[in-house]
A and B are shown apart, each in its own frame.
Chain A
Amino acid sequence: MSIRSENFRARAVAALKDAQLQQALANVPTGFIAKRRKAVARLPEFAALVRRVSAMRRRALAALDTLLPRFVEKAQAAGAKVHLAADAEEARAIIIGILRERGARLVVKGKSMTAEEIRLNPALEAAGVEVVETDLGEYIIQLREEAPSHIVAPAIHLKIDQIADDFRRAHGGLPAQRPLLTAEALAAEARAVLREKFLAADAGITGANALIAESGSAMLVTNEGNGDLCATNPKLHIVVAGVEKLVPDWRSALDVARVLPRSATGQEITVYATFHTGARRAEEADGPEETHIVLLAGSRKRLLAGPFAEMLTCIRCGACLNHCPVYQLTGGHAYGRVYSGPMGIVLGRAVFGLDGGGMLADGVEQACTLCNRCVEVCPAGIDLPALIRRWRAQAVATGMAGALARAGQKLHAALAARPKWYRRAAAAGARVLRALRKRPGLARRLPGLRDWTAAERALPKAMGATFLERHAGKICQSEGGCALPAHAPPQTGNATDDEFLPARARVAGVAAVERFVAFSTEADAPVHRVASPEEAADAMARVLGEAGLERKVFAHPALTWTAEKPARLQSFSPDAPAALMPALAGVAETGTLLFASGPDVPARALLLPEVLFAWLEEDAIVGGYEAALRHAFGTAFHDAPVLPRSILFVTGPSRTADVEQTLVLGAHGPRAVHVLLHVPPTKT
């Protein structure tokens, strides 16, 4: 597909003619849109939640000058080093400097659109650093040396056979008979190759979905588990993000975690919603010795001061791409930037600048029918069509609209300002149009009609006479009399309810336990009720046996059993087949487990084993994420002097849908998660 053309229209035509791309794109409406619709229908409070997130994002941007210093102070107090970069170039230089100073040669990367935006990979490679993308979709496009075609699903433009070819080319020595034509096979192959990279990497680079000012934490929402492996396994972790990701507090971040997955993939929550604060604590079992947070600050603040500031409230869910009738036909590459779809039209030009590649000159601001569907699904409530119109106005103001368009618009306005002339011009036009039906060859040479008929479209059928030449200036009395409606209906209000939490997050007690069990099971994390660690050992032995895995478990020292059924591993090693870790709380809202890194809980033990067993006390099951954090860390946890380095909300086993939107469990993290729900015998 020719994506290098100077002109959006030419790129779009090429995309329409690309049969393989069209097949790949055919999955979009049935996939993302249907899933989002279902998820929204399941949460009655979704619209209210969106209003709250939208309002919160606007307030946060308005308060950036107070949130940023607070974030920097808190993050540094927790052991991170924060760097404020003026622009993309400086951000790249800072990151290269950090890596050079530590002699880092191999970097694993989590998916980050900000890193794509600042073109980090080519810069790192030029500096002699090997960079490996670890998100399956990003890994695929890295092999192909392509840009992402979607901000959430970077390889959505590809069919499985193309990906299999890329794997055979890149992974030398793959036996020819080894089948690679299922999403499972491709994910397994990537898992095996990338596991080595995770373990050997000198540094991990990730983005952030939110930066929490009150505690200096970075939130990351992912499904594969690769982002958290990048953030916890290498001894150096670098976060790269724009300052617009700042939110005031945990509650705001959790609201983002609620709306983002539902909007993006229709998931109730991503498998991992994790919070990394500073670097490894001295007493913790693992974690990076150093964390650096590199923030795009200067260039973002300039955007914030301009007419496209609203775009900075975007939380990068991709819903506007999925629902866009233009994106559905062209895919992302036609937009000519790493950002595509409606948000890409607005943000692409804003971040890359007028001189950065002719965003206006390529006509991409015309890639929109103004159908308004994107506004309807945007979880930040961004009026994307209004911002796209604003770019068109800038194109007009900077003389890029074209002489013919300009003359046509001026003539039209001059006539429209004089209704009698307009009436006559319209009447003449209608007659010409009617006459032209007999001269289609001539019509095809006239501006306007030439374009109308350019793509297998007949001339519009004009009846010949116009309505106004007969009726203008007339009034028709009626026999009866009609009562007028008082007023046009008011536009829908947007009052926000600050006390809002979804009803399903407000349950407690038995109801919470029931909900938790139902949602956890739905998220592919079966729940086993056990009365003691002995019973848990039985359950673990059974699960491992059925999975054909060695019966060896790395377990938290507080969880002991006597029998040898599963053998106990004394220390954690990355090839441990299973781990048994205590969950600090269970969340009824989505069947989610809360974990935190600690002296006896290596974050890696939650991510690397084939099977994760979660020990969960029944009375630790609460309604929502907020209640889980209060239960685990106390009410003032966000002001605690030292938070655990990694706090993880985990919902089911690691997963990916980066190959043709086909769901595969066990991308990089555990292939299975089992909840061992401890119900004390007195209660049964």
Chain B
Amino acid sequence: MPAVDVSIAHTDTPRVALFATCVANALRPTVAKAAMRLLQGAGCTVAVPEQSCCGQPAFNAGFEEEARRIGVALLAAFSGFDAVVAPSASCAGMIRNHLPRLVALGSQEWREAEMLAARTFELCDFLQRIGASPSAGEWRGGPVVWHDSCASLREVPMTDAALALLRQVPGLELLLPEEEVRQTCCGFGGLFAVKQPELSAEMGRRKLAALLAAADDAPVVVTGPDMGCLAHLQAVADAARLPVRVMHVAEILAGMTP
């Protein structure tokens, strides 16, 4: 792919910034790579500015001053782009719903935060809005069970968009768990996973049992919009030796294999 430095790039087409997100960046770089491919495939000019975190771990733990500090850095990182796209409903939700409330109302930072919130999108939501299609060829990974993240249901509703895109992947058999399973948290919850590990892991086990039941306990790929939930579910599945492999929805849409 042709790559140039952000600072010297000149382009007339809209510039989309990719927000890789911490978990994907550190644990699963292929998620961000997949997101980049999908955005490019849709005709976007994609930039990856120097960036860090959305501030959610600090915000949710009650460290408001730290969250504000991180948020202000985020404003600087993503200024000057026409849209910011994240392969995570959770991180996109932090920017969209919470960041503007962390800075002083009416301040310059607040104006910037509101503007950033208005142009930040979760990946699948963005792809569907611009009419993009998945670039994946024939799927050969076996049955795929959808795992909603709480953020994808209740912070940045995007499940319908993700499911519509997944259904365009040829050969992909998509299984949806029953409604109550879909609505119930998997127990990741960010720092909840380490503050209440016993509850977190038990919620994960119950979730996995229900997801596997949706596939009649056959080996499955579990996919969803948030790498945090998926990493947690994989860790629980590995410890319990369950036949589960997780894949981020972007990886499937971009044609990667399990």
Same assembly: yes
Question: Which of A367, A410, A419, A451 makes the CB contact (< 8 A) with B77?
Answer: A419
Name the residue among A9, A325, A412, A430 with the largest chain B CB count within 10 angstroms: A325
Whole-angstrom distance between the Cβ of A576 and the nearest chain B Cβ: 46
A488 within 8 A of B: yes
Q: Provided the pairs A467-B25, A476-B36 are in contact, do residues A455 and B44 lie with their beta carbons within 8 angstroms? A: no
Best-buried of B30, B189, B190, B234 by chain A (most CB within 10 Å): B189
Write the chain B residue with the least CB distance to A492: B157
Selecting from A96-104, A157-165, A255-263, A458-466, the interface stretch reads A458-466
CA distance A392 to B11 in the complex (A): 45
B106 within 8 A of A: no
Which residues on B sit within 8 Å (CB–CB) of A363?
195
B55 within 8 A of A: yes
Q: Quick one: given A372-B155, A460-B235, are A471 and B197 in contact (CB under 8 Å)?
A: no
Partner of A481 from B1, B43, B188 at Cβ < 8 Å: B43
> A479 in the interface, Cβ–Cβ < 8 Å?
yes
Tell me the bound Cα distance from A479 to B83 in angstroms. 18
Whether the Cβ atoms of A372 and B6 lie closer than 8 Å is: no
**A491 contact set on B, CB distance < 8 A:** 97
**B194/A471 in contact, CB under 8 A:** no
Considering residues B9, B24, B25, B33, which has the most beta carbons from chain A within 10 angstroms of its beta carbon?
B25
Residues of A within 8 A of B5 (CB): 473-475
Are B117 and A405 neighbours in the complex by a CB distance under 8 Å?
no
Indicate if the CB atoms of A430 and B196 lie closer than 8 Å. no
B61's partner among A13, A401, A457, A478 (CB-CB below 8 A) is A401
Check if A1 is an interface residue, CB within 8 A of chain B. no
Which residues from chain A contact B121 at a C-beta distance below 8 Å? 485, 488
Q: Can you list, as one digit per residue, whether each of A22-34 has a CB less than 8 Å from chain B (1) or not (0)?
A: 0000000100011
B30 A479 Cβ-Cβ under 8 A: no
- In the complex, what residues of A have CB within 8 A of residue B232's CB? 457
Alpha-carbon distance A418/B51, docked complex (angstroms): 8
Would you call A467 and B13 a contact (CB within 8 A)? no
A-B interface contact total, Cβ < 8 Å: 292
- How many Å from the CB of A121 to the closest CB on chain B? 31
Q: With contacts A415-B52, A461-B234 known, is A478 near B46, CB below 8 A?
A: yes
Digitize A156-180: 1 where CB-to-B-CB distance is under 8 Å, 0 elsewhere: 0000000000000000000000000
Query: Is B32 located at the chain interface by the 8 A CB criterion?
Result: yes
Counting CB contacts under 8 A, is A480 at the interface?
A: yes
Is B62 touching A468 in the complex (CB atoms < 8 A)? no
Contact of A466 among B29, B60, B188 (CB under 8 A): B29
User: Measured between alpha carbons, how far is A418 from B25 in the docked complex, in Å?
Assistant: 16
- Given B53, B60, B187, which contacts A389 in the complex, CB threshold below 8 Å? B60
On chain B, the residues within 8 Å of A391 by CB distance are: 62
Question: Do the beta carbons of A410 and B184 come within 8 Å of each other?
Answer: no
Asked if A13 and B44 make an inter-chain contact with CB atoms under 8 angstroms apart, the answer reads no
B150–A371 touching, CB < 8 Å: yes
Residues in chain A near residue B193, CB distance under 8 A: 451-452
A residues 441-460 in Cβ contact with B at 8 Å: 448, 451-460
CB pair B36–A471 under 8 Å, yes or no, is yes
Contact status of A468 and B201, CB under 8 A, knowing A376-B154, A462-B26, A487-B118: no
Q: Which of B26, B49, B63, B130 contacts A485 (CB 8 A)?
A: B130
The verdict on A569 contacting chain B, using a C-beta distance below 8 Å, is no
Smallest beta-carbon distance B155→chain A, Å: 7
Cβ distance A378 to chain B, nearest Cβ, rounded Å: 12
Q: Tell me whether B154 and A16 are in contact (CB under 8 A).
A: no
Secondary structure at the B interface, as helix, strand, loop or mixed, is helix
Does chain B have a CB within 8 A of A429? yes
Interface-lining segment among A122-130, A189-197, A420-428, A628-636: A420-428
A501 part of interface (Cβ distance < 8 Å):
no
**Is residue B258 within 8 Å, beta carbon to beta carbon, of the partner chain?**
no
Could you tell me which residues of chain A, from 359 to 381, have a CB within 8 Å of some CB in chain B? Answer: 363, 365-373, 375-376
Q: Across the interface, do A470 and B29 meet the contact criterion of CB distance under 8 Å?
A: yes
B154 CB to nearest chain A CB (Å) = 4
Give the B interface residue count (CB, 8 A).
102
A471: chain B residues within 8 A (beta carbon): 20, 32-33, 36, 48
Which of B66-74, B137-145, B167-175, B212-220 is the interface stretch?
B66-74
Q: In the bound complex, what is the Cα–Cα distance between A185 and B188 (angstroms)?
A: 43
Asked whether, in the complex, the Cβ of A369 is within 8 Å of the Cβ of B188, the reply is: yes
- A9's partner among B52, B60, B185, B198 (CB-CB below 8 A) is B198
Given contacts A412-B57, A455-B202, contact A373 B185 (CB under 8 A): yes
Say if the beta carbon of A395 comes within 8 Å of chain B: yes
In the complex, which residues of chain A have a beta carbon less than 8 angstroms from the beta carbon of B60?
370, 389, 392
Q: A416-B55, A463-B30, A467-B25 are in contact. Are A396 and B62 (CB under 8 A)?
A: yes
A605 interface contact, C-beta 8 A = no
- Residues in chain B near residue A453, CB distance under 8 A: 197
B62 touches A395 (CB 8 A): yes
Report whether B185 and A367 are in contact in the complex, using a CB–CB cutoff of 8 Å. no
Query: Which residues of B sit under 8 angstroms from A373, Cβ to Cβ?
Result: 150, 154, 183-185
State whether A368 and B43 are in contact (beta carbons under 8 Å apart), knowing that A455-B201, A475-B9 are contacts in the complex: no
Contact B27 A468 (CB under 8 A): no
Contact A452 B194 (CB under 8 A): yes
CB pair B199 A16 closer than 8 Å:
yes
Does chain B have a CB within 8 A of A112? Answer: no
Given A12-B199, A329-B203, A479-B43: A409 and B66 interface contact (C-beta under 8 Å): yes
17 A-B pairs with C-beta separation under 8 A:
A9-B198, A12-B199, A13-B198, A16-B199, A363-B195, A372-B154, A396-B61, A419-B77, A460-B231, A460-B235, A467-B20, A467-B31, A471-B33, A473-B50, A474-B4, A481-B14, A487-B119
Known pairs A328-B184, A366-B195; list 4 more (Cβ under 8 Å). Answer: A405-B61, A468-B20, A471-B48, A473-B48
| B contacts, CB < 8 Å to A | 1-7, 9, 11, 13-16, 20, 22, 24-33, 36, 40, 42-53, 55, 57-64, 66-67, 69-70, 72-73, 77, 82-83, 96-97, 117-121, 126, 129-130, 132, 150, 153-155, 180, 183-185, 187-190, 192-205, 231-232, 234-236, 238-240
Closest 7 CB pairs of A and B: A392-B62, A369-B189, A480-B43, A467-B29, A458-B238, A413-B66, A455-B201
